[in-house]
């Protein structure tokens, strides 16, 4: 079976690696166009090391790009971490269609920041979906799903790197095997249960001290490691990481720094205390909360602004 792999970054490279180990016939790889001065994408490097053709189109809407794609005569196209907009004709051309990895239990959390929003919204379970894309935003029938628990201290980073990344690569392998055996299902998504959230960026990552403690805790976890939930202090934007929630309310205004020690800084929130292990002043690097507060001249009794 002739496979085209469209993807990027470490996930795309790992998918390429395990498919190659299984002796799957990957005839071409597509990765995003590189910006000037940027390092080559890991998937590109992996493909070139195996002598596989690499294409990096500026847009998939160009007819010549599509003609070249068809000339490779794919039987199956696999989307492994794709952020480009790809027209439906790329999914309809291969004889076995196309499959796509998505890190949520579709139809919940369609969109580019599915893991972030599962944590931010306080979900207790999430997972991954391999589905048959149809040109919509994470629409199309489901081939398979895998579920995991979201622990009380999980972050977007821990869920992805410890679970959804390795499980996703294995799910792609499993899906290819089902397709080759003629046993791959196409289960319609229930659009009445669909949710779609915007990208998790600074437009949603700002901390509002008027929100209750669990919401703030989930926001910090959901924005960890990217983009980093943020506040302001003494005119500086500061991002929070490594949060712990302590259910011990104090009679201080939310946002007030209660104490600073080697465990981090404790901040009063509505209904408890938020312990922050690491901070990132801007401009600057992520450091321990103790080092950050020393750098910024922050002390107990000061208050972070919304």
pLDDT attached to residue 252: 94
Model confidence over 44-89: pLDDT tens digits? 999 999 999 999 999 999 999 999 999 999 999 999 999 999 999 9
Mean pLDDT estimate for the chain = 96
> pLDDT-based confidence at 258, cuts 50/70/90?
very high
Cα 233 to Cα 72, 207, 279: the distances in Å are 55, 12, 12
Q: Which CATH number characterizes residue 94's domain?
A: 3.40.50.170
Q: Kindly state whether residues 152 and 265 are assigned to the same domain.
A: no
pLDDT attached to residue 255: 96
* Last residue within a domain, chosen from 128, 163, 193: 193
Q: Kindly state whether residues 138 and 230 are assigned to the same domain.
A: no
> pLDDT-based confidence at 236, cuts 50/70/90?
confident
Q: How far is the C-alpha of 211 from the C-alpha of 207, rounded, in Å?
A: 8
Q: Which of 222, 174, 159, 228 is nearest to 18 (CA)?
A: 174
Residue 96 has pLDDT above 90, yes or no: yes
Buried b vs exposed e over 242-255: b needs ≥16 C-beta within 10 Å? Answer: bbbbeeeeeeeebb
The answer as to whether 305 is a domain residue is no
Residue 283's Cβ-count burial label (10 Å; 0-12, 13-18, 19+) is: exposed
The gap from C-alpha 220 to its chain's centroid, in whole angstroms, comes to 15
Residue 169 has pLDDT above 90, yes or no: yes
Q: How far is the C-alpha of 216 from the C-alpha of 44, rounded, in Å?
A: 39
Q: Kindly state whether residues 172 and 229 are assigned to the same domain.
A: no
The answer as to whether 123 is a domain residue is yes
Tokens standing for residue 13: 């490279």
Q: Which CATH number characterizes residue 247's domain?
A: 3.10.25.10
Residue 249 has pLDDT above 90, yes or no: no
The answer as to whether 8 is a domain residue is yes
**pTM for the whole structure:** 0.95
Residue 20 has pLDDT above 90, yes or no: yes
> In terms of residues, how long is the chain?
306
Handedness of CA 57, 61, 64, 68 (dihedral sign): positive
What domain range is 223 assigned to? 213-296
Residue 36 has pLDDT above 90, yes or no: no
Model confidence over 106-142: pLDDT tens digits? 999 999 999 999 999 999 999 999 999 998 999 999 9
Number of domains in the chain: 2
Handedness of CA 7, 10, 15, 20 (dihedral sign): positive
The answer as to whether 204 is a domain residue is no
Give the max Cα distance, the chain.
Answer: 69
């Amino acid at each position: 079976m002739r496979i085209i792999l469209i993807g990027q970054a470490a996930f795309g490279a790992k998918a390429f690696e395990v498919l190659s180990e299984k002796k799957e016939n990957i005839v071409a790889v597509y990765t995003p166009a590189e910006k000037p001065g940027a390092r080559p994408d890991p998937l590109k490097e992996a493909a070139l090391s195996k002598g596989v053709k690499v294409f990096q189109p500026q847009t998939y809407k160009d007819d010549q790009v599509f003609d070249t794609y068809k000339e490779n005569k794919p039987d199956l196209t696999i989307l492994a971490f794709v952020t480009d907009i790809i027209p439906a004709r790329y999914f309809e051309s291969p004889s076995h269609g196309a499959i796509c990895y998505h890190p949520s239990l579709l139809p919940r959390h369609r969109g580019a920041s599915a893991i972030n929003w599962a944590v931010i919204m306080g979900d207790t379970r999430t997972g991954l979906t391999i589905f048959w894309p149809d040109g919509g935003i994470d629409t199309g029938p489901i081939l398979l799903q895998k579920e995991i628990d979201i622990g009380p201290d999980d972050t977007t980073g821990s869920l992805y790197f410890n679970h959804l990344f390795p499980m996703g690569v294995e799910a792609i392998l499993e899906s290819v095997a089902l397709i080759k055996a003629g046993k791959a299902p196409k289960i319609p998504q229930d659009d009445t249960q669909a949710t779609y959230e915007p990208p998790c960026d600074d437009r949603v990552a700002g901390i509002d001290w008027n929100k209750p403690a669990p919401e703030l805790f989930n926001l910090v976890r959901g924005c960890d490691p990217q983009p980093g939930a943020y506040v302001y202090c003494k005119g500086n934007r500061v991002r929070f990481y490594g949060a712990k929630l302590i259910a011990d309310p104090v009679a201080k205004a939310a946002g007030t720094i209660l104490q600073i020690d080697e465990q981090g800084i404790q901040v009063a929130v509505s209904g408890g205390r938020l312990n922050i292990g690491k901070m990132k002043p801007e401009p600057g690097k992520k450091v321990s909360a103790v080092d950050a507060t020393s750098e910024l001249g922050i002390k107990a009794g000061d208050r972070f602004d919304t």
